[in-house]
Amino acid sequence: MRKGSALVIAGFILVISAVIIPIAADSGNFIFTMTVFVLGIVLIWLGRFERNPVSIERVVLIALLSALSTAGRILFFGIPSVQPSSFIIIVTGIAFGPEMGLMTGVVTAVASNLILGQGPWTPWQIFIWGSMGYAAGLCSGIFLKNKLLRVVYGFVWGFIFGWVMNLWFIVGYSPEISGKAFLAAGMASFYLDAAHAITNAVLLLLAGDRLIRAFHRIAVKYGLKGACEYVYFNR
């Protein structure tokens, strides 16, 4: 059995288990259940990536871009939620496509937490950063033509990131799992989420075009993507 197929199957097993086992056992361990569910989704993603041909150039680029994103998070760790990691992940998705954005987000979460600390929050960060990069890649055709939408996308995902992490905290530590608890967590984290959102928006506004051009030059040089978007930026 191919490695990619095995990962997809394992992912589906985890997702199904996360739904069925708590119901059968009448378990209230929501943090374990939801973490297993998220891990299942991540394995399905990784399996789909493995099933597609992966060139050495693509692997090297994922490593380099993830290292850049990881370094940005670590260097700015002293300023909560103000770091360029999400910006780099979004631009990677736009320039190189959904799979590259996904893998850069996944590796960023794992690699940066090797320094900052692994924990039950890591799968959630893998999930949300991977989603951020993948969705950016899916919308790349729109974002390459509309700078404002890129900026809005980065701003909105700053808040989505915070809300997903709030959800992890609520299901793991809150005595009450409800909309009221989620709202209270959102209000408490508003300033951090706003800082993340504003950082994404400012970087995409001021440096987005320049970095996308640079990434497209690399993509065209190594045959990783067609040159149509690159031509758009140089007409």
Note the pLDDT tens digit of each residue in 72-121.
999 998 888 899 999 999 999 999 888 889 889 988 998 998 888 887 78
Note the pLDDT tens digit of each residue in 27-73.
455 666 666 777 777 777 667 666 666 677 778 888 889 999 999 99
Note whether 196 and 161 are within 8 A (CB): yes
Report yes or no on whether pTM surpasses 0.75.
Answer: yes
* pLDDT above 90 (res 206): yes
Domain count, the chain: 1
Among 119, 124, 149, CA closest to 136? 149
* pLDDT above 90 (res 190): yes
Does a structural domain hold residue 10? no
Q: How confident is the model at residue 172, as a pLDDT? A: 67
Q: What residue type is 234 in one-letter code?
A: N
Structural domain including 188 reads 53-233
Among 165, 70, 62, CA closest to 104? 62
* pLDDT above 60 (res 20): yes
Does a structural domain hold residue 5? no
Does a structural domain hold residue 6? no
Q: How confident is the model at residue 182 (pLDDT cuts 50, 70, 90)?
A: confident
Q: How confident is the model at residue 70, as a pLDDT? A: 92
Planar angle of CA 188, 190, 192, nearest 5 degrees: 100
Note whether 33 and 15 are within 8 A (CB): no
Does a structural domain hold residue 108? yes
**What span, in angstroms and rounded, lies between the C-alpha atoms of 228 and 42?**
31
Q: How confident is the model at residue 127, as a pLDDT? A: 86
Does a structural domain hold residue 37? no
Does a structural domain hold residue 15? no
Q: How confident is the model at residue 231, as a pLDDT? A: 45
SS (H, E, C) the chain: CCHHHHHHHHHHHHHHHHHHHHHHHCCCCHHHHHHHHHHHHHHHHHHHHHHCCCCHHHHHHHHHHHHHHHHHHHHCCCCCCCCCHHHHHHHHHHHHCHHHHHHHHHHHHHHHHHHHCCCCCHHHHHHHHHHHHHHHHHCHHHHCCCHHHHHHHHHHHHHHHHHHHHHHHHHHHCCCCCHHHHHHHHHHCHHHHHHHHHHHHHHHHHHHHHHHHHHHHHHHHCCCCCCHHHHHHCC
Q: How confident is the model at residue 97, as a pLDDT? A: 86
Does a structural domain hold residue 8? no
Note whether 216 and 95 are within 8 A (CB): yes
CATH number at residue 201: 1.10.1760.20
Does a structural domain hold residue 85? yes
**What span, in angstroms and rounded, lies between the C-alpha atoms of 121 and 15?**
18
